[in-house]
Amino acid sequence: MEQQEIRSKFPVFSQNKRLVYLDNAATSQKPEGVIDRVRQFYLSENSNIHRGNYPLSSRASEYYAHSKQTVSHWIDARTPEEIVYTKSSTEAINLVAAGMDGLTGPENNIVTTELEHSSNYFPWKELCRRTGVQFRVAEVEEDGSLKTEKLLKLIDCHTKLVAVTGMSNAGGFCPDLKKIISEAHNKGALVLVDATQLIVHRMISVRELDCDFLSFSSHKIYGPMGLGVLYGKQSCLELIPPLLYGGDMVLRGDGDQIIYKSNTEKFEGGTQNIGGALGLEAAIEFLQENEFEALLEHEKALAAYTRQRLEKIKGLHILNSGPDSPIILFEMDGIGAYDVGVLLGLKDIAVRCGSHCAYPLMKRLERQSLCRVSLAVYNTKEDSDRLAAALEGLNSLRKL
């Protein structure tokens, strides 16, 4: 399919024809099919699930269950019973962390890395602070990459969990997940993969990875905001108590005993984001219908092209490794990152500038703030050319 045809499916670009949107690691734009699906739910299908014995409620319950089936197929889970909906990937990770609050003793440890987004770093750091469990962090290299051996050296027979990103949201580096997971399991540790960035740039099979938990957010993969996904092996979900207690998550609560519903339902107390779940399903269907792997090939080629364009700009320095990474970190001589972002914004070019919720990585890079370009399937060479031209113009301005 022609790239302009893909781009035309995202209404934001017809609303603002000058927009160059390169902040996709923060959130993606939404295809028309996703917007229409959410609108349809609230227009003609709105009802709460699992509570009514009338047709409208029954249909909503069926649609909600079917969305989980679509998600489970997308990540190659064994069953929809391994899919839990949360409000975000952040909540999904915190759910797992809260479930491990019973850990005690300085002989035990949890391992993570300096690549992590705050959502997969601070929950574990806080858990270790409360419980006295060791908090071990694998250091990254100066280019934002991670040597697998550095992480593996931290894992021992007392490691209870390894929390690792599938793709760094700041630099785009992808750890060797299969090796990390295999070695962690050999030592008896569980593994949680934060796939919030990876999910939109790679096909994922949780069965091939053999991870115990995996999380991602709907809004990063062209779906609505306000919905997260936690995948967990059924045996692992059974070990974790609910995070939220309330309606629709218990079978019985007589006396001192509480009997929960199924593994996934016990984590979904209260009214769920049903419209968001249907929107996520529509986003996955959009990617399936438009040959996701072909879209990723375009994205990969565009990433290489964008990097080549930026490398030619005098005074601009790219900090992360990976010639075809969809995420590019850079800085410019004599112009602060915040100023670069504001000046590009005046030309309708959206990039992200700051610490990117990646404080350990930024500390390792010895930077307070950097500019980030992050690509999506609807971006084009024209976007990259306009970005490069605008940055060259800023470079000229700096010389005055």
**Which string of DSSP letters, residue by residue, matches 144-182?**
S---HHHHHTT--TTEEEEEEESS-TTT-----HHHHHH
Alpha carbon distance 243, 94 (integer Å): 9
Tokens encoding 158 = 């007392």
Alpha carbon distance 246, 268 (integer Å): 9
Alpha carbon distance 239, 330 (integer Å): 43
Q: How many CB atoms lie within 10 A of CB 147?
A: 14
Task: For residue 236, indicate whether it is catalytic.
Answer: no
Paired sense of beta strands 370-374 and 327-332, if any? antiparallel
Q: How many CB atoms lie within 10 A of CB 153?
A: 12
* Angle, CA of 221, 359 and 134, to the nearest 5°: 100
Query: 3-state DSSP call for residue 375?
Result: coil
Cβ neighbors of 276 (< 8 A, separation 6 or more) are: 38, 218, 223, 224, 225, 226, 227
Distances (CA, A) of 79 to 65, 84, 99, 295: 11, 11, 22, 27
Annotated active-site residue in 174, 236, 357, 371: 357
Alpha carbon distance 20, 303 (integer Å): 15
Q: Which residues are catalytic?
A: 357
